[in-house]
Structure 1
Amino acid sequence: MSSTDVVIPCYRYGHFLRDCVQTVLTQSGVTLRVLIIDDASPDDTAEVAQELARADSRVTVLKHASNRGHIATFNEGIAWAAADYLVLLSADDYLLPGSLARSARMMDDHPSVGLVFGRAIVQEDDRREVVAAPAGLGQGTRILSGTEFIHLSRAKNIVIAPTVMVRTSLQKKLGGYSAQLTHSGDMGMWLRFAAHAEVGFIDRAQAVYRRHTANMSTTYSPEQDLAQRKEAFEVFLSSCAPVLANVDDLRTWFVNELALDAVRSASRAFNEGAMGLSDRLCEAALKIDPKVEGTPPWLALACKRRLGRRAWQLLQPAADRVRQMLAR
């Protein structure tokens, strides 16, 4: 039976921690160790963690005397890991039954796979929504080449972190998370894995991602998000250049994709009446790739801006119908 280490960093999530850990300990089909890292939380994280450790010998607790931040905490967990496979699970998320066994089975059956991910359920208050598979992936569980995964990702992070299991030996080879990527560290890590191994996708909900106001991702503006994604790709290219073909072409492609994503976001902001944000995203797109100015999404947004929002609101339903007809 394959062994799996689950690292659970926790900062101010003591109220989530017990439920998170229990969903790990009740998994079947793998041998388990759990490490809870309390990053000097000011809440009851330490007390909850120690109770869990006393109740189950598979649970170990590390407590920081001062807050070290999520990147250092993740890397501490990676250094601790010794099992066949590794899962980094935020304390505010939790696993669904059977998820570890499904991921481990794929790893066991396909030694060339370095990372496995799946669908997730996003939970916000009392609402739950199953996240669709990434666009272009199609239906069904499958194995992707690293190149397929990179191009499927385009300029975005298409993987929801709590669904991920990685091969520990490859994680150790790649090293830990980059201190530069405080917001896009996950995206950068998935790309690094794809440069060195195949990627498995399980077409089932594997974990629950909680969306709430304390999520770290909510502290970044759209412009900061774009900058961090660009930085993630630069770190990926520089660290993985020896194993990548056509690095310059890949950089050009990504910069264009990121700029187009910024324009599409600017267009959505325009539709919602956030005109200042739309302008800033257009400026960001041009800064990322000046050539985006001649693309169809840019020209479409330019037409909308010339019309003005009031006129566009009247025309938008007809434009949406035309798009739907063309997509058939």
Structure 2
Amino acid sequence: MTTNFQGRDEVKMPLVTVILPCYNAELYVEEAVLSIMNQTYTNLEILVIDDCSNDDTNSILKRLSMEDSRIRLIRNEQNLRLVKTLNKGIDEARGMFIARMDADDVSLPERIEKQMDLMLSNPDVDLCGTSYSIIDGIGNKLKTEVKVPSTCEEIKTALLFTCPMGHPTVLFRKEKIQSLGSYDENMINIEDYELWLRVALKGKMVNLQNPLLKYRWHGENISILGRDVKRNSVNLAISKNSEYGFIEKYRELHLKMILAEWNYSINELRSFNLWKKELATHVDDLDAFVKVFDSYYSLTMLCVIKNKNSLKIKLFAFFNILRIKPIYTFQHFFNKI
């Protein structure tokens, strides 16, 4: 059987298991599953795990499974919640490669094809994400593209400040992720970020710049709920992965970077300036380190705006930015204001 996956025979197309956990997703789950059923890469196992939904989700999934033999529907006996369900999916997966998908998002038709093309051409890459767009609850596009860092070095640097990979966009090698222990079930609301730290330490990850997934933003996303829990989880993630290069005395600064909890004070600017110097010894790629400066510029400008009557803040920010030449020119700084 031939496919449109660049003319390859299906026998040469490794099986990809798409793990799609669902809980009370009746409004969106059909569109999500159909977007996987309609992928140009056809050698798929669509592993849909219903986490004890009490709405019409399960009946929708049963109907879809009758339409496509690639769908394998599992219903948890009790509500396991997301992280345990994901680990169950990894254990159950029959494919050498696993793609993530959420029940309220939409994958573009060529998503899996483009990711597998990269993975098969680069056997040293363990995990591949993509850029993505953002839609609202009824499918209207809110943002055309969310840019993500592309190279492994850029992703490692970005991990110091944010989660640089869209969780529902990733595709990874099952064996590699299992060798790292899969998702840590203690990392509530931040299981992806903590796993990416481990991958960054022990493997290679990249992002495709193509926006290949529509991420649905409807106010009930798990990723925007439970801020206190998320903060505790980030703290645990940093502790667990201390070898990644996080410096203990800057732990609180890192938490502020991840969770956007800045006070925009001169003390924070001083701390960031010191931390930036420490980071410079760990980052080899100049283009990647520019992202650190981008964060510093943002913090500096917000600090100046919030403290617009403080000459001390303005002078401190001005002379700090002068000192980072030649990486950024004086003219470049003013272009960013």
Which band: TM-score by shorter chain? 0.7 to 0.9
Q: Which runs of 5+ in 2 are unaligned?
A: 1-12, 276-295, 311-330
- Residue from 301, 305, 325 that aligns with 2:334: 325
Shift in CA distance, 167/291, structure 1 to aligned 2, threshold 3 Å: same
Indicate the residue corresponding to 2:10 in structure 1: none
- Say whether 1:12 aligns with 2:17: no
Indicate the residue corresponding to 1:207 in structure 2: 213
- Residue from 46, 67, 81 that aligns with 1:69: 81
Q: Secondary structure at the match of 1:325?
A: helix
Indicate the residue corresponding to 1:197 in structure 2: 203
Cα-to-partner distance string for 1:81-140 (whole Å, 9 max, x where unaligned): 131210121111121110101001110000100010111011114233123323xx4xxx
Aligned mates of 2:34, 2:301 — CA distance in 1: 52
Indicate the residue corresponding to 2:234 in structure 1: 229
Aligned mates of 1:210, 1:303 — CA distance in 2: 32
**Could you tell which deviates more after superposition, 225-234 or 176-185?**
225-234
Matches for 1:1-328 after TM superposition, within 5 Å = 1-125=13-137, 126-134=140-148, 137=149, 144-145=151-152, 147-221=153-227, 224-237=229-242, 241=243, 247=245, 249=247, 255-260=252-257, 265-267=262-264, 291=271, 297=299, 301=303, 304=306, 307=309, 325=334, 327=336
Tell me, yes or no, if the aligned pair for 2:30 and 2:60 is still in contact at 8 Å. yes
Deviation for aligned residue 1:264: 6.6
Q: Which runs of 5+ in 1 are unaligned?
A: 268-281, 309-321
Shift in CA distance, 152/218, structure 1 to aligned 2, threshold 3 Å: closer
Shift in CA distance, 304/205, structure 1 to aligned 2, threshold 3 Å: closer
Shift in CA distance, 34/252, structure 1 to aligned 2, threshold 3 Å: farther
- Give the percent of matched residue pairs that are identical in Structure 1 and Structure 2: 20
Deviation for aligned residue 1:262: 5.8
Cα-to-partner distance string for 1:124-163 (whole Å, 9 max, x where unaligned): 14233123323xx4xxxx5x34x54221222211111121
CA RMSD of aligned residues (A): 3.3
Q: Which amino acid aligns with 1:210?
A: R
Tell me, yes or no, if the aligned pair for 1:260 and 1:292 is still in contact at 8 Å. no
Deviation for aligned residue 1:67: 0.9
Aligned mates of 1:293, 1:231 — CA distance in 2: 25
The structure with the largest helix share of the pair is 1
Shift in CA distance, 178/155, structure 1 to aligned 2, threshold 3 Å: same
**Could you tell which deviates more after superposition, 75-84 or 191-200?**
191-200
What TM-score results when the alignment is normalised by the length of structure 1?
0.74
Cα-to-partner distance string for 1:275-321 (whole Å, 9 max, x where unaligned): xxxxxxx8xx98xx99469998589749845959xxxxxxxxxxxxx
What TM-score results when the alignment is normalised by the length of structure 2?
0.73
Shift in CA distance, 79/263, structure 1 to aligned 2, threshold 3 Å: closer
Aligned mates of 2:85, 2:194 — CA distance in 1: 17
Aligned mates of 1:294, 1:303 — CA distance in 2: 22
Q: Which amino acid aligns with 1:191?
A: L
Deviation for aligned residue 1:263: 6.8
Deviation for aligned residue 1:68: 1.2
Q: Which amino acid aligns with 2:209?
A: D
Q: Secondary structure at the match of 2:143?
A: strand
Tell me, yes or no, if the aligned pair for 1:123 and 1:208 is still in contact at 8 Å. yes
Tell me, yes or no, if the aligned pair for 2:20 and 2:103 is still in contact at 8 Å. yes
Aligned mates of 2:67, 2:241 — CA distance in 1: 41
Tell me, yes or no, if the aligned pair for 1:183 and 1:217 is still in contact at 8 Å. yes
Q: Secondary structure at the match of 1:14?
A: coil
Aligned length: 280
Q: Secondary structure at the match of 1:15?
A: coil
Deviation for aligned residue 1:215: 0.9
Q: Which amino acid aligns with 1:164?
A: V
Deviation for aligned residue 1:224: 4.8
Q: Which amino acid aligns with 2:67?
A: A
Cα-to-partner distance string for 1:151-177 (whole Å, 9 max, x where unaligned): 122221111112111111111211221
Q: Which amino acid aligns with 2:186?
A: Q
Aligned mates of 1:20, 1:262 — CA distance in 2: 29
